[in-house]
């Protein structure tokens, strides 16, 4: 029996039906939740968070020890102690002064020898002070949580710097405007001034919801797709078993698929309604489109895992709804990095109860 020959007009017809909702997609049932274990995870969350912050930061500091030379004069506060307080501050979503008060209360649990002022906490947001350890904390949470992850989802978002604006509403307005003009761009939504959002792109494990790659900036002139090469590289490095990447239609571009092809990973990005089968040198593009046409139900079941990226962004916003407090760009980046790390530590904590087979034991 001869194989069916697919044409560009077949692809465009199918994609148009999918995008308009006319295609009869058979939705996959929701996975059941073990509420007994979930309740146990919630009861123990606070204690687990402090224990894990202490152990993971100490582990990270041990790894990077020797990278920074001591300075003459009065001994400074250890960078690891500052990072512990910054993570606790991000977890509770409080100001520097309140975080200084938390230090007095939780110093023993965190393994910190002495108190320090809110000004020391403030200076901890300068990347030269804490970035090396925070990067190592991020790496460790992935070693523990994403070592066996095989699929990842990528998505962009924005954290407001004021309670007066909302990223999702701005994004929706942008999409409506672009649809009215029959265009689609990768630009982040603007709001009056260029400093109203901190924009980020995240790559997260589909099974673990642990963030494996991220890029952040306060500059809205940098489009979402410009972050993808860095996020893809980090995600692949932190998920060595990854064999698939999922994203919304924005990522359905040959340049993006070409980047994915370097990693021997299968992309699931829904093409646009006017897409063609021509590869233009990106052979993975045609393979992706043909896979969609050969078995739309199976392909869409995989594609819809892209929603995990949106879920992860939503998890962070619900748990840490406080707007970005910092005003210096380099400190905004650190604040966003702290939110990412807090999410990873918390998510790893929950997985030890809900899906222990997916993660490695801390200290094991």
Six-digit token pair at 76?
């400074």
Strands of the 211-217 sheet, one edge to the other:
211-217, 197-205, 151-160, 244-247, 266-269
Hey, is 299 helix, strand or coil?
A: helix
User: What does the pLDDT look like over 131-153, one tens digit per residue?
Assistant: 999 999 999 999 999 999 999 99
Nearest CA among 238, 237, 231, 274 for reference residue 256: 231
Tell me what pLDDT residue 70 has.
53
At residue 192, what are phi and psi to the nearest 5 degrees? 75, -75
Rounded to an integer, what distance in angstroms lies between the CA atom of residue 59 and that of residue 53? 10
Strand-pair partners of 200: 157, 216
- Can you give the pLDDT at residue 195? 63
Are 124 and 83 within 8 A, CB to CB? yes
**Surface-to-core class of residue 306, CB atoms within 10 Å of its CB (0-12 exposed, 13-18 middle, 19+ buried):** buried
- Tell me how crowded residue 242 is: count the other CB atoms within 10 A of its CB: 24
Token reading at 96 = 């520097």
DSSP bridge pairs for 191: 193
Q: Which two tokens stand for residue 140?
A: 């460790």
pLDDT score, position 221: 85
Backbone phi and psi for residue 216, each to the nearest 5 degrees, phi listed first: -140, 150
Query: Residue 269, Cα to own-chain centre: how many angstroms?
Result: 18
Radius of gyration, CA atoms only, the chain? 22
Q: Rounded to the nearest 5 degrees, what angle is found at the Cα of 285, between the Cα atoms of 264 and 283?
A: 70
Q: Residue 224 carries which DSSP code?
A: G
3-state secondary structure labels for all residues of 50-118? HHHHHHHHHHHHHHHCCCCCCCCCCCCCCHHHHHHHHHHHHHHCCCHHHHHHHHHHHHHHHCCCCCCCH
Residues in the chain: 364
Kindly tell me the sign of the dihedral angle through the C-alpha atoms of 252, 255, 258, 262. Answer: negative
- Name the residue with tokens 């299968």: 266
pLDDT of residue 26: 85
Q: What is the pLDDT along the chain (364 residues), one digit of tens a residue?
A: 446 688 999 999 999 999 999 998 888 777 788 999 999 999 999 999 999 999 999 999 999 985 555 555 555 899 999 999 999 999 999 999 999 999 999 999 999 999 999 999 999 999 999 999 999 999 999 999 999 999 999 999 988 888 766 666 766 777 677 777 777 777 777 665 556 889 999 999 999 999 999 999 988 889 999 999 999 999 999 999 999 999 999 999 999 999 999 999 999 999 999 999 999 999 999 999 999 999 999 999 999 999 999 999 999 999 988 888 898 999 999 999 999 999 999 999 999 999 999 999 997 6
Residue 229 structure tokens? 């090469």
Note the pLDDT of residue 2. 47
């Amino acid at each position: 029996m001869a194989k069916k020959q697919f044409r560009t007009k077949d692809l465009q017809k199918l994609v148009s039906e999918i995008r308009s909702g006319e295609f009869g997609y058979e939705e996959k049932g929701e996975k059941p939740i073990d509420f007994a274990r979930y309740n146990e995870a919630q009861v123990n969350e606070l204690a687990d968070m402090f224990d894990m912050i202490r152990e993971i930061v100490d582990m990270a500091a041990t790894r990077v020890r020797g990278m920074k030379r001591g300075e003459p004069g009065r001994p400074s506060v250890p960078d690891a102690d500052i990072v512990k307080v910054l993570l606790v501050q991000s977890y509770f979503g409080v100001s520097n002064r309140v975080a200084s008060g938390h230090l007095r209360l939780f110093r023993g649990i965190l393994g910190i020898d002495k108190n320090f002022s809110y000004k020391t906490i403030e200076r901890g947001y300068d990347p030269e002070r804490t970035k090396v350890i925070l990067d190592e904390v991020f790496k460790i949470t992935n070693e523990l949580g994403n070592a066996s992850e095989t699929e990842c989802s990528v998505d962009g978002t924005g954290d407001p710097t004021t309670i007066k604006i909302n990223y999702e509403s701005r994004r929706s307005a942008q999409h409506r405007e672009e649809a009215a003009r029959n265009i689609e761009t990768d630009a982040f939504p603007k709001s009056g001034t260029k400093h109203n959002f901190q924009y980020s792109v995240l790559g997260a494990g589909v099974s673990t919801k642990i963030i494996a790659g991220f890029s952040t900036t306060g500059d809205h002139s940098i489009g979402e797709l410009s972050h993808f090469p860095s996020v893809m590289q980090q995600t692949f490095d932190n998920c060595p078993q990854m064999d698939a990447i999922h994203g919304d239609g924005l990522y359905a571009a040959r340049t993006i698929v070409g980047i994915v092809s370097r990693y021997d990973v299968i992309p699931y990005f829904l093409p646009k309604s006017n897409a063609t089968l021509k590869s233009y040198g990106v052979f993975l593009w045609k393979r992706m489109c043909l896979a969609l046409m050969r078995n739309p139900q199976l392909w869409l079941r995989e594609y819809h895992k892209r929603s995990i990226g949106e879920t992860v962004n939503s998890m962070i916003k619900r748990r840490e709804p406080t707007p970005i407090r910092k005003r210096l760009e380099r400190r905004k980046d650190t604040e966003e990095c702290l939110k990412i790390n807090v999410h990873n530590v918390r998510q790893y904590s929950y997985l030890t109860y809900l899906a222990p087979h997916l993660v490695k034991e801390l200290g094991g």
